[in-house]
Amino acid sequence: MIAIGPQIRICHLYPDLMNMYGDRGNVIALRRRAEWHGLDPIVDEVSLDDRPDFLGYDIVFIGGGQDREQRLICLDFQRVKGSALAEAVEDAVALLAICGGYQLLGQYYQTANGEQVPGIGVLDLWTVAGKKRLIGNVIVETDAFGPLTTVVGFENHSGQTYLGQGLKEMGRVVLGYGNNGEDGGEGVVYRNTIGTYLHGSLLPKNPAITDHLLKQGLLRRYGQADLRPLDNSIETRAHEAAIRRARTKAR
């Protein structure tokens, strides 16, 4: 399909380091649905030592990674990108951060050895490594993207994340663990930033979030968000199949 609509610029942060469980699929989903909606997506890959103009992007994505990769990115945030990314968050650039990327938006991640890996601190949250790994399929109910809907994905993390006052969780856990396995919350929503533990990839299974990010990106840049209507029957069937599979495996 030839894109004829407005351009939408997507920044894929650290694709070479943060790509657990096919997180790259989220960027593929953003690009493809943008094309289907008649937009002209431009995707830039940005890694260590690069100095991107985050304010020039409409959507920023960062996936999840292991502790080693998170330490490298922590240093890069401290030396190169952290303040610019925090400025973009406050300027309402749409941002989706998965697992390790989500944790690094907060105050710190405390490893099992007690080491505190600092985040960029743009979100008042913190993460502490727990003794139990939180693994499995997840179903969440949320109204963060419009009418109450379900979000489905897969989580695998030992970090237990706690939100400070004033932050809103992305949704309530119906199945799985979520942020910490204790308070029933999953993820965070702040301005146009979404943080979540859901891999999977998240966006192909949940096109409502994909379109939400595209709309927020368009609104910030152009002041309007006219997405071409799509036939989502196949995507809806895939979403419902993922939920049925998650419920079946949980029995």
Give the catalytic positions in this structure. Answer: 99, 199
Q: Which residue has the tokens 């859901």?
A: 198
- 107: three-class secondary structure by DSSP: coil
How far apart CA 76 and CA 166 sit, in angstroms, is 28
What 8-state DSSP symbol labels residue 168?
A: B
> Which one, of 154, 152, 203, 150, lies nearest residue 31 by Cα?
203
On the CB side of 225, CA atoms within 13 Å amount to 14
Tokens of 247: 């419920």
Of residues 202, 197, 128, 119, the one with CA closest to residue 161: 128
Instruction: Round to whole Å and give the CA distance between 92 and 244.
Output: 35
Q: Max CA-CA distance within the chain?
A: 52
